[in-house]
Homo-oligomer: A and B are copies of this chain.
Amino acid sequence: MKRPTIADVARRAGVSKGAVSYALNGQPGVSEATRQRILAIAAEIGYSPSSAARALSGATANAVGLALCRPARTLGIEPFFMELISGIEAALSARSYALTLQVVADQEAEIAVYRRWWAERRVDGVFVCDLRTHDPRVPALETLQLPAVVIGGPGHTGNLASVWSDDAAALVETVEYLGALGHRRIARVGGLPSLLHTEIRTDAFDQVCRRLGLDGAVTVWSDYTGEEGARATRRLLSSATRPTAIIYDNDVMAIAGLSVAQEMGLSVPGDLSLVAWDDSPLCQLVHPPLTALGRDIPAYGAHAARQLLAVIAGDPVTGLQDETAHLTPRGSTAPPRER
């Protein structure tokens, strides 16, 4: 089947190719009647402008890129990324933008991908996930002048636009809630310590525990996998002064932790309260269902997409604070049982 071109539409409509271009792009230069006729003919013969030709004539690529730097196993098991991508995608396709995805091994490879995308003019902009302090991707993107939106923060984003959520506030709310239930020894199983949001949560955790005088507070780090979450939990629960409550940096680790507690003969929430960060449907599938910190991740992705399109359009864009995660108490938290 031969693909229709702008010339086919022009011939049928009895106008020049330029007129067709103006009509399709909503530019002035054609009468409304002509525009309608041209649009009808384009629809009739199934014409869509070649993205290559369009991109080559200086217009945009109509595509944005997302490079993910996580191994396949954590990508697969964490609902977060797929939900984020769904949200990004929904906002992009509403504006007929395509999403180009690439999985990379490390930050260096990620920067190389940005450079290639830029040189190939393949994308008009990119999303940056898993921000770190002193993140080399930020200056690299600034140098390339490739439009970008950081999904994360606040701070450490240089001149790049960003979308972020107040993790510190969510963590403080959680600790205060556990404190109000009567917990004095609260532990936290954090995510990768190199990620900015892990650092933000850790700092907030230390501060609020100090403020509430909870000196049994301890953070151990993990990598978001169930295996590591289980190992960290086993270590915490084997200590002489074991915690009565644990906060996990994702839901997969929390579910693994629940399993470990049951295997060690502890009752949840009687002997141990558990809180998961990221309230995916998984949290309600286990027994007892997990108290969790949740927010609308697809919406977060959609906001990031709209920010990126604004940056590409040249609008002045800075940081956008998204909804703060809220705590949904379920069966995994209760006052600590006296020992």
Contact = CB atoms under 8 A, between A and B. Distances in A.
Interface stretch (A31-39, A69-77, A212-220, A315-323): A69-77
A76 B72 contact: no
Interface stretch (A42-50, A128-136, A162-170, A239-247): A42-50
A144 interface: yes
A41 B327 CA distance: 56
Most chain-B CB neighbours within 10 Å: which of A49, A52, A75, A227?
A: A52
A194 interface: no
- Count copies of this chain in the complex: 2
A98 B122 contact: yes
Contact of A287 (B102, B226, B259, B297): B259
Given A51-B120, A82-B75, A284-B226, A63 B100 contact: yes
A120 B255 contact: no
Interface stretch (A22-30, A87-95, A152-160, A176-184): A87-95
A50 B48 CA distance: 21
A85 interface: yes
A221 interface: no
B226 A282 contact: yes
A125 interface: no
Contacts of A90: 72, 103
A89 B89 CA distance: 17
Interface stretch (A12-20, A111-119, A203-211, A305-313): A111-119
A267 interface: no
B1 A120 contact: no
B282 A77 contact: yes
Given A87-B72, A287-B262, A281 B99 contact: no
